[in-house]
Amino acid sequence: MSELGWPEGVSTNSAESRGALGEVLAMQVAAWLREALVERGVATLAVSGGSTPVPFFQALARQPLDWERVTVTLVDERWVPESHQASNARLLRAHLLKGAAAQANFTPLVTNAASPGEGQPEVQAQLAALPATLDVVILGMGTDGHTASLFPGTPGLEQALRPDCPSRCQAMSPPEALQERITLTRPVIDAARHRVLHIAGEDKLVTLEKALASPELILSMPIRAFLRSGLAVYWSA
């Protein structure tokens, strides 16, 4: 992976398996969170959903931390109740917010509103109660080059990808997604102290190669907006 044409300042890390990658990433994220706790007394972590992060969540949940001073939130969410199979909050409850990590504070991205458009102001307020600079953001990526719920061809994508987008979150209705979504916007991700892209599989390397070939075309592959200096990429086959 390191032979891809990465922009200056992007670091790459790989492991023999997805489990080993999850362990390596969990140790690094725990170190960053401990550093935040020492420096500021609190720490914030925003994670993505999907299948890739599960070994990472399970390894992070085992990390010794003052979890009660850590706030965990999501990079994006499907607009479904936590009981729904597609809920990212449900995924976190099952694999991350358990054991010692069950003491962490969790900021969900879904409200009781009927749609993300109606719920957005309340989610915006909840996010505004968090530090403006999150300590750690973990991005995933689909093979279409989406990240978070920033999908190509979605109405409102240009707004959400503006470096100066005024909102911290935005409702999205990706044409091919099963559920309406809500996503963090680009400024929130850009401002994070530590930005990670966590991916697995050869197909994701092919996607990255395509993304790196035309970095300026962010609307067709939104991940392109985040492939820049300071990003830490974690990959395994």
Ligand X SMILES: O=C(O)[C@H](O)[C@@H](O)[C@H](O)[C@H](O)COP(=O)(O)O
Ordered alpha helix ranges (H), 99-213: 116-128, 157-160, 186-191, 202-213
Nearest residue to 22 via CA among 46, 54, 49, 45: 54
Structure tokens at 74: 């999501």
Q: Which of residues 22-51 bind ligand X (CB under 6 A)?
A: 48-51
Interaction between residue 142 and ligand X (CB under 6 A): yes
Q: Which of residues 69-128 bind ligand X (CB under 6 A)?
A: 75-76, 88
Q: Which is nearer to ligand X, 135 or 145 (CB)?
A: 145
Using the contact rule CB under 6 A, the part of the chain among 3-11, 30-38, 143-151, 208-216 near ligand X is 143-151
Dist. CA 185–CA 170, nearest whole Å: 7
Q: Which is nearer to ligand X, 41 or 174 (CB)?
A: 174
Dist. CA 73–CA 105, nearest whole Å: 8
Structure tokens at 176: 């091919």
Using the contact rule CB under 6 A, the part of the chain among 97-105, 134-142, 217-225, 229-237 near ligand X is 134-142
Interaction between residue 140 and ligand X (CB under 6 A): yes
Q: Which is nearer to ligand X, 103 or 190 (CB)?
A: 190
Terminal-residue alpha carbon distance, the chain: 10
Q: Which is nearer to ligand X, 97 or 141 (CB)?
A: 141
Which is it for the CA torsion 86, 181, 93, 196, positive or negative? positive
Residues lying near ligand X in the complex (CB under 6 A): 48-52, 75-76, 88, 140-142, 146-148
